[in-house]
Structure 1
């Protein structure tokens, strides 16, 4: 079977993670327990998930000309992702997520940095690669006008696109209609599509955490139940699901089979720490599906 070709247009971040016993109050200094950096960003995460599952993945994005940018590029290349359309923006910081963890809660500050420079003009220069894709994968950590541009280009050239609307950002009804598959979680779906489910129900694949996945297939509502697994870290589970769904659809699997494949990949991802650290291989996902 030919490798499915997937282009991810999205964010590339470095996660700066601090663990502490107590969140500091305003003006207070506390002692932290641990600190580490992890490559992240929803775009990069989904690209890594798809690559580990056997896809030929091309990343369209931007990083800064700082040390983080170099490390983020190297990480993508180590995952066998084509980074020829990821450049380092001069005099700009890479995208960052400053994450403070305490007592199973977190506080996160996102600094877009170079992700704000993923403009329609920049993406247009990468159009040849996008138009050679079996599927395009989008998330909402890059400028809105870029997301709309990508959806329009894909629609004009009949390139199917999976739109993961996270973090929540409203688009026009026309834009949603052009998407091939839309993958909100339950909260995002309620905020974006309340009262409008009937209009686009065939496009929606709604992840519902412990309640599994809900979607429509040829007019029939379906639910895929979750796996009962020991959860170590849910970070990146949604990104794993989206990367896996795009891979399965690009391979020509039915929507039902693709959702089942993505559901298994997501279940495997939560059993290990870290967004990218828990993303599974194709062999692991196939084995889980065989055992169910």
Structure 2
């Protein structure tokens, strides 16, 4: 029996976020204006957004037996994410170093650490979660072979599968065809369809080729250009929220988590995407992905979906 719950299988990172005017050039030491720490990793971020919106959310992944791992698990628990299936391993916890520039754009370097230790046997151990979960969300910051295995297991148990194919990596056609909803940004979409996608027009031009590789729904996020949703019939463009971006870390993760929550409620793709854009718009106005993600109460006042 499926329950109103979401399982996220993915990465957890300890993020160090440097606010700075520009990037350092080769050989230069450049001072940042400030530094903030926050929980990160695409898997953890997406789980936090789901939990902040009041959905029962389980996270499957791994952290090290170190202070970074302690920090991440404590934060996730405070946000309401169930971490019973996050393993503690001998590898160091994943770390992300983020440079956030004045215009809100970011650059990041990530050390995989414990995220690279997630195994197929760990997926087998959480099979009872897949039996109960209505939606399973995955990304590609854990080993690809394990992600493909998890997709197959989730498919066997009738889960609606959302894959955020980030970073863009080769996936087997057999795994992709079991994905119900694929979420990619412009560079990732370009990688998977073999054509340059850099704006709404090019996304509309090439989205058919991408959808042929998966199940029901393709979402291409376009940054300030919003997002394009294509279900094989309708090409729906959803505007991004008009906000002054402070730091865009986690914007896509916020979108995915919020979108999944609305699907769980039975909302249409248009309603879910409008809500997701609103959530992502709030996230980018604050520093840090997880702290910046909105709760249901924050969004309820001026969002009708």
- TM-score, with structure 1 as normaliser: 0.90
Deviations 1:37-71 (A, max 9, x none): 21111100001111011110001011000111111
Matching residue within 225, 239, 244 for 1:225: 239
Matching residue within 272, 279, 282 for 2:286: 272
| Counterpart secondary structure, 2:133 | coil
Q: Which residue of 2 aligns with 1:205?
A: 219
Q: Which residue of 2 aligns with 1:96?
A: 95
Q: Which residue of 1 aligns with 2:34?
A: 34
Aligned length: 288
CA change 1:119–1:270 in 2 (3 A) is same
CA change 1:200–1:33 in 2 (3 A) is same
CA change 1:30–1:146 in 2 (3 A) is same
| Counterpart secondary structure, 1:174 | helix
Q: Which residue of 1 aligns with 2:24?
A: 23
CA change 1:254–1:67 in 2 (3 A) is same
Give unmatched runs, 5+ long, in structure 2.
195-205
**C-alpha distance in structure 2 between counterparts of 1:234 and 1:44, whole Å:** 16
Q: Which residue of 1 aligns with 2:303?
A: 289
Give unmatched runs, 5+ long, in structure 1.
none
| Counterpart secondary structure, 1:226 | coil
Aligned positions of 1:1-292 closer than 5 A:
4-19=4-19, 23=24, 25-26=26-27, 29-90=29-90, 92-101=91-100, 107-194=107-194, 196-197=209-210, 199-200=212-213, 202-217=216-231, 219-290=233-304
Q: How much is the aligned-residue C-alpha RMSD, in angstroms?
A: 2.2
